[in-house]
């Protein structure tokens, strides 16, 4: 459910995106949430050995709880990334299952560590949608995102909002509206193409509207509108079309594979996902 909006928006149209192939040269990352039952040291080693360029550190991982992370621990993780030759694509904390006050505390604690990590992007999601309170939740989210974006700025980091099915900001149209409602110079967008498929988004329109505010992209496949992240090629997403759309706005940041709950050995899934992504991205 999208809140009514009194603002004036650009007439929707489907832009054409020329194929230039630049995105093929971008860094490809992997989210550590896929290793939520393993130590972060193991996750970093596996991701590097698989051939990825970067990681997104997900602070939902038990040993990355921002309330427990010390500067020394952050420095160790940063050193491990450097030794492995991995760039830091982003730090994220969604905490959708958290109680609201716990979530606020963890977000604030995470933000104080961003400069120590050397992160330039902090990715967050909104709360679960309560239909009877959606208008109030929307206003609360605007206030919270402005607050968190203000806190990120001194850390040299932008705040990126990620839409997700079932949340207050559930699709890319909500995301465009939220960014305009907040009107904050330190806010950016994270596009998860699987989420967009599930919510039936008009992706060309969304990517065109986001433009330079699109700072991060999550990649996985999906079958129909079932919210299950799959290895590229196992679902219905046309990755060549996604590539062309990103080329069309001259996207130059990380593309991060996001397969959080795949069955089987997470190391094998990590390796297979990269190979499949390269194959389908190049088609």
Specify the CATH number for the domain of residue 153: 3.20.20.150
The total number of structural domains that make up the chain:
1
Residue 253 lies inside a defined structural domain of this protein: yes
pTM of the model: 0.90
Residue 2 lies inside a defined structural domain of this protein: no
Q: At what angle do helices 266-281 and 239-248 cross, to 10 degrees?
A: 70
How far from 270 is each of 44, 45, 165, 223, CA to CA, in Å? 11, 11, 24, 19
Token representation of residue 41: 């040291």
Residue 169 lies inside a defined structural domain of this protein: yes
- Residue spans of beta strands (DSSP E) within the chain: 28-31, 54-58, 87-92, 121-125, 158-162, 187-192, 214-219, 255-257
Residue 15 lies inside a defined structural domain of this protein: no
Residue 8 lies inside a defined structural domain of this protein: no
List the pLDDT tens digit at each of the 283 positions of the chain: 444 443 433 334 445 444 444 554 678 999 999 998 899 999 999 999 999 999 999 998 889 999 999 999 999 999 999 999 999 999 999 887 777 788 889 999 999 999 999 999 999 999 999 999 999 999 999 999 999 999 999 999 999 999 999 999 999 999 999 999 999 999 999 999 999 999 998 888 888 889 999 999 999 999 987 888 999 999 999 999 999 999 999 999 999 999 987 778 999 999 999 999 999 988 6
Give the residue numbers spanning the domain of 74: 22-281
Residue 1 lies inside a defined structural domain of this protein: no
Q: Name the nearest CA neighbour of 167 among 139, 138, 127, 134.
A: 127
Q: Name the nearest CA neighbour of 193 among 141, 256, 149, 266.
A: 256
Q: Name the nearest CA neighbour of 35 among 11, 52, 14, 15.
A: 52
Residue 9 lies inside a defined structural domain of this protein: no
Considering Cα of 188, then 115, then 164, then 98, what sign does the dihedral take? negative
In whole angstroms, what is the distance from residue 263 CA to residue 112 CA?
A: 34
Residue 95 lies inside a defined structural domain of this protein: yes
**Are 33 and 60 contacting, i.e. CB atoms less than 8 angstroms apart?**
yes
- Chain center to CA of 68: 23
């Amino acid at each position: 459910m999208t809140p009514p909006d009194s603002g004036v928006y650009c007439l929707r149209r489907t832009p054409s995106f020329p194929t230039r192939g630049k995105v093929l040269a971008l860094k490809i990352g992997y989210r550590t949430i896929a290793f939520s039952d393993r130590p972060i040291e193991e996750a970093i080693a596996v991701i590097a050995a698989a051939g990825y360029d970067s990681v997104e550190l997900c602070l939902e991982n038990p040993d990355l709880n921002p309330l427990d992370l010390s500067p020394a621990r952050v420095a160790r993780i940063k050193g491990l990334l450097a030794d492995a030759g991995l760039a830091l694509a982003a730090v994220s904390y969604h905490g959708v299952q958290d109680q609201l006050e716990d979530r606020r505390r963890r977000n604030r604690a995470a933000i104080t560590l961003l400069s120590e990590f050397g992160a330039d992007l902090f990715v967050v999601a909104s709360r679960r949608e309560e239909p009877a309170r959606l208008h109030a939740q929307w206003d609360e989210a605007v206030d919270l995102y402005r607050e968190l974006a203000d806190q990120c700025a001194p850390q040299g980091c932008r705040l990126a909002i990620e839409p997700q099915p079932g949340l207050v900001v559930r699709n890319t149209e909500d995301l465009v509206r939220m960014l305009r409602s907040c009107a904050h110079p330190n806010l950016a967008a994270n596009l998860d193409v699987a989420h967009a498929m599930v919510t039936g988004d008009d992706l060309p329109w969304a990517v065109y509207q986001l433009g330079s505010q699109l700072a991060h992209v999550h990649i996985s496949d999906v079958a129909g509108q079932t919210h299950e992240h799959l290895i590229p090629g196992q679902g219905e997403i046309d990755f060549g079309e996604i590539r062309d759309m990103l080329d069309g706005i001259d996207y130059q940041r990380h593309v991060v594979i996001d397969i959080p709950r795949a069955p089987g050995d997470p190391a094998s899934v990590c390796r297979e996902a990269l190979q499949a992504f390269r194959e389908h991205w190049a088609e």
